[in-house]
Structure 1
Amino acid sequence: MPEIRSYDSAHLYCGIVWGAEVHDVGAVDDVGRIVLRKRVQSDPAGLTHLLTLLARAGDSPHHPIPLAAEVDRRLWVRALRSAGRPIYSIDALASARYHTSHAVSAAKSANSGPVLLANIVRTNQAALRPLPPYTGPPDALGALARDLQNAVWLRQQLENRIVDLLMDFYPAAIAAFADPLQGGLVRRDARMLLSVAPNPNRAAALTTSRLRHLLRNAGRQRHVDRDAERLRQVFTATYPQQPTHAETAMGIRLAGQLAQLEAACITVDRLIEQASAQFG
């Protein structure tokens, strides 16, 4: 069963290395352990991906994870500042000093790219000053960035609640969908399948043919046969079960929470479309 992990966002630090088409992202905890390494696209969908990765790591409105970067990519930095995220601009000299002073004691992976930038903030935050909050005139970019950040946070909160509920009565769904590296429960196919089968008994009754049909209806085009077979095996495996009446009641509760998650996912998608239209 995949492990769902989050951290105390007050003790996480993120670095990002900008690229022409993709940006490299890394995050460490308060002792320097790498908790995130990922690559995101340099478009509005990539910005949403970054916010989602941070939210999954434990980012919250009360403790947004600080972000460090060497180069000021104005559009992304302005968007992130407008959303209230602490941004540290790290110059190349500071990066070189940190790399040199930690070259012997630290692993190579911790001395390069976004992880290096995250570690600079972790070890020197008191001596660094974040960029001042954006105080320019209100504009569409700032409004979209704030709305998108809030929408991603809400979506993550709803997903976390659903995961907690599934752990109480529906472990097959956790095994099937809750791997955050594969998109978790916000994936359209996961939401659709759970809506059709909101309790373990209904999931176990889904045939491979029906699962293929549902995956295709959710927009899946690749590995449909493989994943339908896998889901069939997962849903028909043996797990601890609640009494039938409890499963039914929890399934009703799950259906309500899925409706909220569906609305939150639609909101995020629409905000991405707006950002792409105006700034893509």
Structure 2
Amino acid sequence: MMQVLFIGDDWAEDHHDIEIVDDTGRVLARKRVPEGLLGITQLHELIATFLPDPGTEPTPEPQVVVGVETERGAWVASLVAAGYRVYALNPLSAARYRERHSTSGAKSDAADAHLLAEIVRLDRAHHRPVAGDTALAEGVKLAARAHQNLIWERTRHVLRLRSALREFFPAALAAFEQLDEPDTLELLGKAPDPDTAATLSKRAVSAALARANRRNVEQRATEIVTVLRA
């Protein structure tokens, strides 16, 4: 059975408050992401964490349904172009829904994200989906879908790498914070197994961290070498 993810997107001038719920209303994730390309990337990454397990039999991608209080702008066009089903919710409708389901009627970004997710989960039949055939949507469709697919594929590869390391090289998971960062990939390329990693010099680790523009290089290199040699 295809999984459906319902997303409430409460937007402001410089950020979006996101909440993801499943078809039972269970909250799966909450996050604030910035406006623009970085925020869209983080949203795709967040959704990608709920993709089917790459180690299991192939299953359909989840259907993603988004509720947001606007139908204009590059952000909404990118969501539509990425294949998400986006509903433009009238702010007055959202306010009436808030009044019916909240004793205080108070407004907050996190609460509004939840509200929008619940509206598209329970009441989307009474709202209008954003059309995907505007000139702006068509213009960004190819780039937006390629961007999304690259993020999802990167997430799948990281999950596979994490699963493999957990089986035979768990120290790497303790030593490296992010498996898709350039310094991590460089060091794993030089030392892909526990025995080789135990011989890595602090100088080599420091050089990789410096090339990745890390802070506190000496301290971080000491921590990594200590974990790999333990």
TM-score, scaled relative to structure 2: 0.80
Match of 2:227 in 1: 234
Structure 1 runs not aligned, ≥5 long? 1-7, 179-183, 238-280
Query: Is the partner of 2:192 in helix, strand or coil?
Result: coil
Q: Structure 1 residue 86 and structure 2 residue 85: aligned?
A: yes
Check conservation: 2:2, 2:61, Cα contact below 8 A.
no
CA distance, structure 1, for counterparts of residue 217 and residue 108 of structure 2: 36
| Residue equivalent to 1:56 | 49
Other-structure match for 1:74: 73
Kept in 2: contact 1:175–1:234 (CA 8 A) = yes
Alignment partner, residue 201 of structure 2: 207
Paired residue for 1:134? Answer: 133
Contact 1:13–1:118 (CA under 8 A) maintained in structure 2: yes
Flag the 1:124–1:86 CA change in 2: closer, same or farther, 3 A.
same
Residues 208, 70 of structure 1: CA spacing in aligned structure 2 closer, same or farther, 3 A cutoff?
A: same
Tell whether the 8 Å contact from 1:14 to 1:27 is kept in structure 2 after alignment: yes
Q: CA deviation at 1:215?
A: 0.8
Question: Do the aligned partners of residues 226 and 71 (structure 1) sit closer, same or farther apart at CA in structure 2, a change above 3 Å counting?
Answer: farther
Percent of aligned pairs sharing the same letter = 35
Find the aligned partners of 1:235 and 1:129 in 2 and give their Cα distance. Answer: 55
CA distance in structure 2 between the aligned counterparts of 1:136 and 1:73, rounded to whole angstroms:
12
- Hey, what's the Cα distance between the residues in 2 that align with 1:54 and 1:44? 15
Paired residue secondary structure (1:65):
strand
Aligned pair in 2 of structure 1 residues 140, 73: CA closer, same or farther (>3 Å)? closer
> Partner residue of 1:223?
216
Contact persistence 1:192–1:218 (CA under 8 A): no
How many corresponding residue pairs?
222
Structure 1 residues 64 and 204: alpha-carbon distance in aligned structure 2, compared to 1, 3 A threshold: farther
CA distance in 2: counterparts of 1:93 and 1:119, whole angstroms: 16
Give the drift of 1:77. Answer: 1.1
Relative to structure 1, the CA distance from residue 156 to residue 233 in structure 2 (aligned partners, 3 Å threshold; closer, same or farther) is same
RMSD of aligned residue pairs (Cα, Å): 3.0
Q: Is the 2:18–2:33 Cα contact (8 Å) retained in structure 1?
A: yes
Residue 192 of structure 1 corresponds to which residue in structure 2? 186
For each residue in 1:200-243, what CA deviation from the matched residue of structure 2 results, as whole angstroms up to 9, or x when unmatched? 222222233432221112232x2323322332233233xxxxxx
- Structure 2 Cα separation of the partners of residues 98 and 67 of structure 1: 17
1 or 2, which has the higher strand percentage? 2
For the residues of structure 1 that align with 2:14 and 2:161, how far apart are their CA atoms? 34
Contact kept, 8 Å, 1:189 with 1:219, in 2: the verdict is no
What TM-score comes out, normalization by structure 1 length? 0.68
CA contact (8 A) 2:174 2:227 kept: yes
Residue type of the alignment partner of 1:32: G
Change (3 A) 1:110 1:40: closer
**Any gaps of 5 or more consecutive residues in structure 2?**
53-58
SS of match in other structure, 1:205: coil
Provide the residue aligned with 1:5 in structure 2.
Answer: none
Report whether the alignment pairs 1:150 with 2:149.
yes
